[in-house]
Amino acid sequence: MSEEAKSLNFIEHIIEEDLRNGMPKNHLRFRFPPEPNGYLHIGHTKAIGISFGLGEKYNAPVNLRFDDTNPTKEEQEYVDAIKHDISWLGYKWENELYSSDYFQQLYDWAILMIKDGKAYVDSQSSEAIAEQKGTPTQVGTNSPFRNRSTQENLDLFERMKNGEFESGTHVLRAKIDMEDPNMLMRDPIMYRVMHAHHHRTGNDWCIYPMYDWTHGESDYIEQISHSLCSLEFKPHRKLYDWFKEQVHDYSVDEYPLIPKQREFARLNLSYTIMSKRKLLKLVEDGVISGWDDPRMPTISGLRRRGYTPNSIRKFIKKVGVAKRENVIDVSLLEFCIREDLNKTAPRVMAVLDPIKLVITNYPENKEEWLVAENNPEDDNAGTRQVPFSREIYIEKDDFKEEAGNKFFRLKLGGEVRLKNAYIIKAENVVKDVNGNITEIHCTYSEDTTKKVKGTLHWVSIKHAIQAEVREYDRLFMDEAPDSHPDKNFMEFINPNSLKTINAFVEPSLADAKVGERFQFQRLGYFNVDDDSTANKLVFNKTVGLRDSWVKQKLKQNNTKNLQKPQQQQRKAINVIQQLGKKYTNLPEEKQQKVKAEIQKLAKDVTYNELEPLFGTAIKKAGTRIATIIVLKVLLNNGLKHNDAINEFVEKALEDKNELLVAEARTI
């Protein structure tokens, strides 16, 4: 079966149109241009997914280009981490490139621009330059150095390059227009003096090009066809195009194609932050253990947490691409990882919050190895054996001395199935001096065919292995922690985002390897953390299973407290309104049916409910027709005419919608 024609996003529309207009398919070329100044996060995944996804879709090359023009912030460590993350996600780049590879070309072009009077050296302080730049609502003014002679500019620029000047003393600026409403066009800085060691070019340069000058020209040199970036670069497009025009004049023969920048809305995730600077702060302040802490929204964090590349790619596909600001609910990410792991993760049993259960009629020294299915979703997953004995652990939550019949778990006198084992019945409990239950005593029956409502997971105490389980909660307690102008995002940090648990797991897990993923049955998905050693197993909780029981409990609590009214029947007037909406679009037959229905419903409508509808917008003819129909019924039932009614009917009579006029006439 062929894949159904999926609708295109706006970038794909643009590409399709370019192709239709004659762009050869083999001119398609994309790039992902990270700055190596931090780790990649889930937000970057969107940009990666877009550009690399397009590469896969059109079978076009995608370059990985490090935008490394600021040696003070960039490090090799980040380059390595970024490459690792992209590969892990399963994408392949055509070329590994660096903006710094183009420093010489950029410099040569800059010289040409100076010669053409399109760039000049400014020798003011950054403060002075900033001041002359104006504000978004106020134009800028020219620099006193704007009209230096070509000779002087050339000389100064050469000396900047040679390291004769200190940082901050001179810059090279493009000569564009200080009055442009777009501030980026007000003689933007192309080069600044920086005596810094660069992770690739070492000490070769002491002038470094700025983003706008570098980025577009790098695209141009690589002959990128579509340069895709996030929305905040939209204002840069004008400059991007301006620079391109200049260099294109110099190098048409060598580089014939002109790239096109297009912008999409970046990804935001609820309850998380996405700024590299802020993530770095969390790392530096030790709020979390590092860039790859499982609570971090970084790719390395998600990886350590147990997310699969597949789930992340699916997630990105699902969130789509558009231009409007968006906040994606974390539940979508969770859905994607559950969906993936459900099919692939072997099931095992683990008890996180144990309570001892003794099966009194099971022989003291007996033990059995029972057969357990590894994954009901995967026919090839096979089975394993789990040990059973007289004393086991179950979850504390799975037992209550007394409970209603909505509680499917174990209660005194109640029966429940032990997963992969027998059906047991709770007979009594042992308590300590404080009244806490220390043991549950049960009897078992070997008849496993009986129908019982609940099934519990368990581990045999004698055979269980201890393991550390790290359970995570969201790192921030606010839905949008960095969107409060008056509050710092650090204020929202959840102090309980990490819970370390001493758990008991079934012995088959003894040789689980770092990175392996499991479903702890009835609990969630877990993977073996990097900290795990041969003597000590450490698991991360990736995500819990969907749990309709907690919802059930929440609901019960709510109804207890609030006595929420049962979902009340919809009011007749609301139903009528909805019927009216579509009225004008319906075929005539159906209109008659709907009309009859409205007339029937109208009997339950009061005038007070109807009157507000008189104000319905003119263009909403359907609603007005429905209103007229109801009005007629009310009038027939003895309602008296008043000014509001007369006005409404008159307006209807004058309408150009014939249906509406016809209905109004009948009044």
Partner RNA sequence: UGGCCCAUGGUGUAACUGGCAACACGUCUGUUUUUGGUAUAGAAGAGUCUAGGUUCGAGCCCUAGUGGGCCAACCA
Judged by CB under 7 A, the chain residues 255 through 314 that form the site for RNA are 265
Nearer residue to RNA within complex by CB, 280 or 498? 280
Strands 524-528 and 459-460: unpaired
Identify the residue among 41, 260, 338, 541 touching RNA (CB under 7 A): 338
User: In whole angstroms, how close is the CB of 556 to RNA at the nearest point?
Assistant: 10
- Tell me phi and psi for residue 548, to 5 degrees: -80, -10
The yes or no reply on residue 324 touching RNA (CB under 7 A) is yes
Could you list the active site residues? Answer: 35, 266, 276
In whole angstroms, what is the distance from residue 119 CA to residue 117 CA? 6
**Which structure tokens are listed for 129?**
């330059």
For position 344 contacting RNA by CB under 7 A, the verdict is no
Q: In this chain, which of 76, 87, 104, 326 binds RNA, going by CB under 7 A?
A: 326
The residue among 293 and 621 lying less far from RNA, judged by its C-beta, is 621
The residue with tokens 């995570």 is 472
Of 56-64, 78-86, 322-330, 599-607: span binding RNA (CB under 7 A): 322-330
Q: Minimum distance between the CB of residue 289 and RNA, rounded to whole angstroms?
A: 26
Among positions 18, 19, 23, 73, the unique one binding RNA when judged by CB under 7 A: 73
Q: Note whether 431 binds RNA by CB under 7 A.
A: no
Q: Is 662 in the site for RNA (CB under 7 A)?
A: no
Q: Which is nearer to RNA, 139 or 287 (CB)?
A: 139
- Does residue 549 touch RNA according to CB under 7 A? yes
Q: Does 621 bind RNA (CB under 7 A)?
A: yes
DSSP, residue by residue, 86-119: HHHHT---S-EEEGGGGHHHHHHHHHHHHHTTSE
Site for RNA in 454-473 (CB under 7 A): 454-455, 457
Q: Is 581 helix (H, G, I), strand (E, B) or coil?
A: helix
Q: Map 3-31 to HEC letters.
A: CCCCCCCHHHHHHHHHHHCCCCHHHCCEE
Per CB under 7 A, which of residues 371..400 are in contact with RNA? Answer: 375-377
- Name residues contacting RNA, limited to 516-545 (CB under 7 A): 519, 521-522, 545
The minimum distance between CB 36 and RNA, in angstroms, equals: 9
User: Quick one: three-class SS letters along 349-387?
Assistant: CEECCEEEEEECCCCCCCEEEEEEECCCCCCCCCEEEEE
Rounded Cα–Cα distance for residues 14 and 20 (Å): 10
Q: Report the residue number, 288 or 423, with the smaller CB distance to RNA.
A: 423
Q: How far is CA 599 from CA 183, 604, 657, in A?
A: 62, 10, 20
Residue 171 in the binding site for RNA (CB under 7 A): yes
* CA–CA dist 93, 83 (Å, integer): 10
Cα distance between residue 506 and residue 440, in whole Å: 20
Q: Do 456 and 502 meet the contact criterion of CB atoms below 8 Å apart? A: no
Residues in 356-375 at the binding interface with RNA, rule: CB under 7 A:
375
Q: For residue 82, which of 36, 46, 31, 33 has the smallest C-alpha distance?
A: 36
Sequence-separated (6 or more) residues with CB below 8 Å from residue 477: 271, 492, 493, 494
133 or 226, CB closer to RNA? 133
Give residues 555-594 in contact with RNA (rule: CB under 7 A): 555, 570, 577-578, 580-582, 584-587
Q: Which residues between 470 and 509 bind RNA (CB under 7 A)?
A: none
Out of 250, 335, 607, 614, which residue is the one contacting RNA (CB under 7 A)? 335
Which candidate, 391, 373, 493, places its Cα nearest to that of 440? 391
Task: Name 142's bridge partners.
Answer: none
Q: Is 250 in the site for RNA (CB under 7 A)?
A: no
57 counts as binding RNA under rule CB under 7 A: no
17-36 residues near RNA, rule: CB under 7 A:
33, 35
For RNA, the binding residue among 252, 322, 430, 644 (CB under 7 A) is 322
Which range in 107-115, 136-144, 145-153, 246-254 contacts RNA by CB under 7 A? 136-144
Stretch that binds RNA, among 358-366, 419-427, 465-473, 508-516 (CB under 7 A): 419-427
Does position 138 interact with RNA (CB under 7 A)? The reply is yes
Window 77-116: residues binding RNA (CB under 7 A): none
238/531 with CB nearer RNA: 238
Task: Closer to RNA by CB, 19 or 586: give it.
Answer: 586
Question: 564 vs 316, 406, 560, 591, CA distance in Å?
Answer: 38, 20, 8, 37
Minimum Å distance from CB 590 to RNA?
7
d(CA 247, CA 217): 8
Q: What is the size of the binding site for RNA (CB under 7 A)?
A: 112
Q: What's the order of all strands across the beta sheet hosting 391-395? A: 455-456, 415-418, 423-431, 437-445, 354-359, 391-395, 459-460
> Does the footprint of RNA cover residue 340 (CB under 7 A)?
no
The Cα 480–Cα 294 span in angstroms is: 19
